[in-house]
């Protein structure tokens, strides 16, 4: 049944006979867990993750250290397609994190953020991490695009702090914002930055997008072209703000849940190459590689099967693989295992499909727009 659904979901949309492989990796730049000490304190306070998936992020995920990036780059640079191009990660990035000191000094009345490069300065093994980001861009193996300003629903989180929610306050005191309480306010996960409760929040999110994309350009020296909303939640009215700020391509779920406010949700069905009224192209993912979610599963073989289905229907293979799979400054074994699996996957892809082509999400979008198949 699962195979049938995967085949069916790959039928609609843009087609190409070329075998494109695109790695899309979310969450880069966000400060998920700052240290082992912070995690242990929260666990000792009986502040537990919302579910098993959140648990793997809190245990393993955080800002990429110099070693994390160097090791990832070593794997990517060890392979080339028949055009001579290395595998390239399109990294969907957060450009800011909460400024805990300023928020605390103002008694949670206002929200303040800092560029993620400033957050890096306080971490023990990250002094040259941003230099490695720039090296990855130059080598075309690590290309940032836009995931949001911060991986945080500011409105809901700040309200929880103002109301004195115990778990949220305790996490805040340890510079952690990513633990959603068991019964979150308005039933919104803190990580879902673009979810809304009321339509009036849209104006705030328009500013978030504008500020975030301006900061993105200041940090990286170019405008972002592709946007993927954190956790998938996104009100489509914000597409105009994205368009006005240079976003040409939007990564969406094949079944998108659009929050309308006032507890209303609208479902949209998407396919690769679909366009909205601003002529922005929707990009969808059809392959998954998340080894840290279950080390006992055969993720390499499962992803190869996803790729095979993609190519069967003349679709590009767009692989979802989150940052958490490659981070080791909290748990070195996590990074080492993730990179070992990535190495096996890349070796298997090139062996199975020697004519594969590694491209970025932006390049995929440009091909679709130009219909150059």
Instruction: Report the domain count for the chain.
Output: 1
Q: HEC string of the chain?
A: CHHHHHHHHCCCCCCCCCEEEEEEEEEECCCCCCCHHHHHHHHHCCCCCCCHHHHHHHHHCCCCCHHHHHHHHHHHCCCCCCCCCCCCEEEEEECEEECHHHHHHCCCCCCCEEEHHHHHCCCCCCCCHHHHHHHHHHCCCEEEEEEECCCCCHHHHHHHHHCCCHHHHHHHHCCCCCCCCCCCHHHCCCCCCCCCCCCCHHHHHHHHHHHHHHHHHHHHCCCCCEECCCCCCCCHHHHHHHHHCCCCEEECCCEEEEEEECCEEEEEECCCCCECCCCCEEECCCEECCHHHCCCCCHHHHHHHHHHHHHHCCCCEEEECCHHHHCCCCCHHHHHHHHHHHHHHHHHHHHHCCCEEECCHHHHHHHHHHCCC
Query: What number is the average pLDDT over the span 22-29?
Result: 98
Q: What is the pLDDT of residues 335-358, one digit of tens each?
A: 999 999 999 999 999 999 999 999
Q: What is the pLDDT of residues 271-281, one digit of tens each?
A: 999 999 999 99
Q: What is the pLDDT of residues 244-254, one digit of tens each?
A: 999 999 999 99
| Domain coverage including residue 45 | 2-370
* Higher-pLDDT residue of 231, 3: 231
Query: What number is the average pLDDT over the span 66-94?
Result: 98
Looking at the predicted structure, is the pLDDT value of residue 33 above 80? yes
Query: What number is the average pLDDT over the span 35-45?
Result: 92
Query: What number is the average pLDDT over the span 125-142?
Result: 97
Q: Which CATH number do you get for residue 205?
A: 3.20.20.370
pLDDT of amino acid 217: 98
pLDDT of amino acid 339: 98
Of 117-121, 163-167, 218-222, give the lowest mean pLDDT range: 163-167
Q: Which of the four pLDDT bands, split at 50, 70 and 90, describes residue 368?
A: very high
Q: Which of the four pLDDT bands, split at 50, 70 and 90, describes residue 1?
A: low
Q: Which of the four pLDDT bands, split at 50, 70 and 90, describes residue 371?
A: low
């Amino acid at each position: 049944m699962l195979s049938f659904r995967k085949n069916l979901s790959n039928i609609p949309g843009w087609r190409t006979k070329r075998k494109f492989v695109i790695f899309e990796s979310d969450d880069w730049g966000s400060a998920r867990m700052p240290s082992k000490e912070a995690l242990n304190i929260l666990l000792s306070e009986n502040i537990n993750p919302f579910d098993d998936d959140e648990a793997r992020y809190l245990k393993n995920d955080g800002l990429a250290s110099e070693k994390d990036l160097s090791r990832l780059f070593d794997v990517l640079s060890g392979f080339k397609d028949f055009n001579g191009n290395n595998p390239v990660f399109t990294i969907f990035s957060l450009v800011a994190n909460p400024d805990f000191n300023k928020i605390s000094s103002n008694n949670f009345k206002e929200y303040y953020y800092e560029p993620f490069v400033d957050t890096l300065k306080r971490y023990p093994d990250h002094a040259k991490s941003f230099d490695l980001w720039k090296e990855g861009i130059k080598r075309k193996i690590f290309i940032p695009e836009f995931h949001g300003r911060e991986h945080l629903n500011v409105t809901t989180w700040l309200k929880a702090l103002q109301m004195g929610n115990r778990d949220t306050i305790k996490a805040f005191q340890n510079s952690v914002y990513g633990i959603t309480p068991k019964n979150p306010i308005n039933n919104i996960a803190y990580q879902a930055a673009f979810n809304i409760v009321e339509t009036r929040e849209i104006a705030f999110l328009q500013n978030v997008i504008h500020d975030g994309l301006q900061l993105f350009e200041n940090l990286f020296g170019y405008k972002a072209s592709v946007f993927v909303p954190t956790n998938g939640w996104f009100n489509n009215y914000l597409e105009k703000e994205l368009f006005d700020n240079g976003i040409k391509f939007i990564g969406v779920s094949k079944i998108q849940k659009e929050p309308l406010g006032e507890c209303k949700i609208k479902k949209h069905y998407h396919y690769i190459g679909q366009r909205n009224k601003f002529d922005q192209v929707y990009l969808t993912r059809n392959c998954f590689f998340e080894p840290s979610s279950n080390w006992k599963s055969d993720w390499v073989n499962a992803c190869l099967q996803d790729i095979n289905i993609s190519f069967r229907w003349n679709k590009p293979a767009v692989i979802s693989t989150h940052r958490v799979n490659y981070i080791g400054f909290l748990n070195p074994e996590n990074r080492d295992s993730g990179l070992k699996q990535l190495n096996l996957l890349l070796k298997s892809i090139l062996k199975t499909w020697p004519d594969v082509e590694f491209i970025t999400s932006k390049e995929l979008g440009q091909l679709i727009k130009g219909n150059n198949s």
